[in-house]
């Protein structure tokens, strides 16, 4: 390319197991599970019983009142994560060159809680009682818009609507913007799909786990896998050109080295094998990373037998014999799947794993009949130079992102 290299310099996390990268990493390392019975008003009689809930999140701590009244919880999460990432990278808002900073997010669930409240006003009191902010708060583009308005970021902003894998695609989009000349991009995804309306929207997913026991509800790759549970939260990152970052004294945490996305159709898990394999090959090729140079895999880990098998086979197709040696993990087994936020949280986990030389374990799952070296129980230490992060969407998107530890 032109010598520009996209690196992550800031990590901001709002997750069921911790707010802020430090708390998040601590919980991941210990394999602590945050899955819990859903105890929210209006959710009591739905067949979905377990999720990863973000507790103790004080939106006012991160979001000014004028934005709070305009936005749904999913945007509160995204704005909070963006603040945390910027603080981590020491990147200021209202930069000297507003066109040098951009925002890219992905979202799938949108502002369900806000929207439900306004629709209830509509039916109970009439159209005059629907607030004008309904026009923007539900919209999946709301987080990009509000983060860019708040920070005064006028660079090439965007929203990726590509299913759950969009959480990875947003980072790839950011890396391409950086390669084309943008100084910094706030990129990532956060979702808040655990509210009555949003939950009803998910009930049709065949892979959804309706188990009542948080210990058993989501056991990806296990022989007793019973589907997946949803989660809320997500992660935002500061992505910058490496040289520009170093010049301003920022520390490159991980290089976004390669990415490819494919599409193989909704719930066609068998076919996702080929699509995911193609995505992995593309990401490795772009990163100039040989298959046996992959040091850890953060798996999509849907928890549906056929999908788990397809993912394991896709890894074997590309990595060959190396698949028996490379540690594979799915920390999201202890968090649930925050839709587009899920792969963003995996990227945060991968960045921290590269830094600490430690692969966090997969909670809950006890065995793995798919021929993978799944890390369970305890974290595993190792020299990690690269991390492969995988994501598939329920609607058929497959995506692979390769991160590399930067030179010191």
CB of 69 to other proteins, least distance (A): 4
Query: Applying CB under 8 A, which part among 126-134, 240-248, 288-296, 351-359 lies near other proteins?
Result: 126-134
Residue 129 found at the interface with other proteins (CB under 8 A): yes
Kindly identify the residues of this chain, within the stretch 71-100, that bind other proteins according to CB under 8 A.
none
Under the binding rule (CB under 8 A), the answer on residue 395 touching other proteins is no
What are 389's two structure tokens? Answer: 């992060």
Given a contact cutoff of 8 angstroms between Cβ atoms, the answer to whether 11 and 81 are in contact is no
Quick check: 132 binds other proteins (CB under 8 A)? Answer: yes
Partners of 189 in beta bridges: 106, 235
The stretch among 15-23, 63-71, 196-204, 282-290 that binds other proteins (CB under 8 A) is 63-71
**Minimum Å distance from CB 133 to other proteins?**
6
Segment contacting other proteins by CB under 8 A, of 108-116, 125-133, 245-253, 284-292: 125-133
Residue 337 DSSP one-character state: B
Contact between 131 and other proteins per CB under 8 A = yes
Binding mask 12-51 for other proteins (x = CB under 8 A): ----------------------------------------
In this structure, which long-range contacts are made by residues 372-376, counting pairs with CB atoms below 8 Å and at least 24 apart in sequence?
372/221, 372/299, 372/312, 372/315, 372/323, 372/328, 373/324, 373/325, 373/326, 373/327, 373/328, 374/221, 374/328, 374/329, 374/330, 375/327, 375/328, 375/329
- Does residue 68 bind other proteins (CB under 8 A)? yes
Q: Is position 67 an interface residue for other proteins (rule: CB under 8 A)?
A: yes
**Interface with other proteins (CB under 8 A), residue from 133, 251, 293, 322:** 133
Choose the stretch contacting other proteins; rule: CB under 8 A; options: 33-41, 127-135, 167-175, 258-266.
Answer: 127-135
Least Cβ distance, residue 156 to other proteins (angstroms): 23
Cα 180 from Cα 158, distance rounded (Å): 15
Angstrom distance (rounded) from CA 254 to CA 7 = 5
Count of CA atoms in the C-beta half-sphere (13 A) of 80? 26
Of 292, 272, 257, nearest in space to 389 by CA: 257
**265 secondary structure, DSSP code:** -
Spatial separation of the C-alpha atoms in residues 15 and 336, rounded to whole Å: 10
Quote the DSSP letter at residue 228.
B
Nearer to other proteins, 60 or 97 (CB): 60
**Do you know the residue count of the chain?**
408
Size of the site for other proteins (CB under 8 A): 14
Q: Does the footprint of other proteins cover residue 58 (CB under 8 A)?
A: no
The only residue of 45, 55, 96, 128 in contact with other proteins, by rule CB under 8 A? 128
Q: Is 69 in the site for other proteins (CB under 8 A)?
A: yes
> Cα 389 to the chain's mean position, in Å?
10
Which residue of 37, 135, 288, 290 would you call a contact of other proteins, by CB under 8 A? 135
Residues that bind other proteins (CB under 8 A): 64-70, 128-129, 131-133, 135-136
């Amino acid at each position: 390319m032109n010598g520009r290299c996209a690196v992550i310099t800031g990590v901001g996390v709002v997750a069921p197991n911790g707010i802020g990268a430090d708390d998040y990493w601590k919980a991941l390392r210990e394999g602590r599970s945050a899955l819990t019975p859903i105890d929210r008003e209006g959710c009591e009689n739905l067949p979905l019983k377990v999720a990863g809930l973000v507790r103790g999140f004080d939106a006012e701590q991160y979001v000014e009142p004028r934005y709070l009244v305009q936005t749904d919880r999913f945007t509160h999460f995204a704005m909070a994560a963006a603040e945390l990432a910027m603080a981590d990278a020491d990147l200021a808002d209202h930069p000297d060159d507003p066109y040098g900073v951009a925002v890219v997010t992905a979202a799938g669930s949108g502002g369900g809680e806000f929207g439900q409240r306004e629709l209830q006003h509509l039916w109970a009191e009439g159209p005059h009682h629907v607030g004008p902010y309904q026009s923007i708060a539900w919209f999946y583009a709301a987080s990009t818009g509000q983060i860019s308005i708040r920070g005064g970021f006028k660079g090439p902003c965007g929203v990726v609507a590509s299913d759950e894998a969009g959480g990875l695609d947003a980072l790839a989009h950011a890396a391409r913007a950086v390669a084309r000349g943008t100084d910094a991009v706030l990129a990532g995804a956060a979702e808040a799909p655990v509210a009555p309306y949003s939950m009803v929207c998910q009930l049709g997913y065949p892979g959804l786990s309706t188990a009542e026991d948080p210990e058993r509800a989501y056991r990806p790759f296990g022989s007793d896998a019973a589907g997946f549970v949803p989660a809320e939260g997500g992660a935002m990152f500061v992505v910058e050109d490496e040289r520009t970052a170093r010049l301003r004294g920022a520390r490159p945490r991980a290089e976004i080295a390669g990415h490819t996305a494919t599409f193989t159709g909704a719930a066609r898990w068998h076919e996702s094998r080929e699509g995911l394999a193609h995505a992995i090959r593309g990401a490795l090729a772009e990163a100039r990373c040989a298959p046996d140079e992959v040091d850890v895999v953060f798996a999509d880990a849907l928890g549906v037998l056929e999908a788990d098998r397809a993912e394991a086979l896709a890894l074997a197709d590309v990595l060959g014999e190396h698949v028996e040696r490379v540690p594979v993990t799915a920390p999201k087994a202890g968090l649930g799947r925050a839709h587009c936020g899920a792969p963003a949280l995996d990227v945060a986990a991968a960045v921290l794993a590269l830094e600490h030389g430690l692969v966090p374990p997969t909670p809950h799952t006890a065995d793995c009949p798919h021929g993978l070296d799944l890390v369970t129980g305890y974290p595993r230490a190792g020299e990690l130079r690269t991390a492969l992060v995988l994501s598939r969407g329920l609607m058929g998107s497959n995506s692979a992102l390769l991160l590399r530890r930067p030179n010191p």
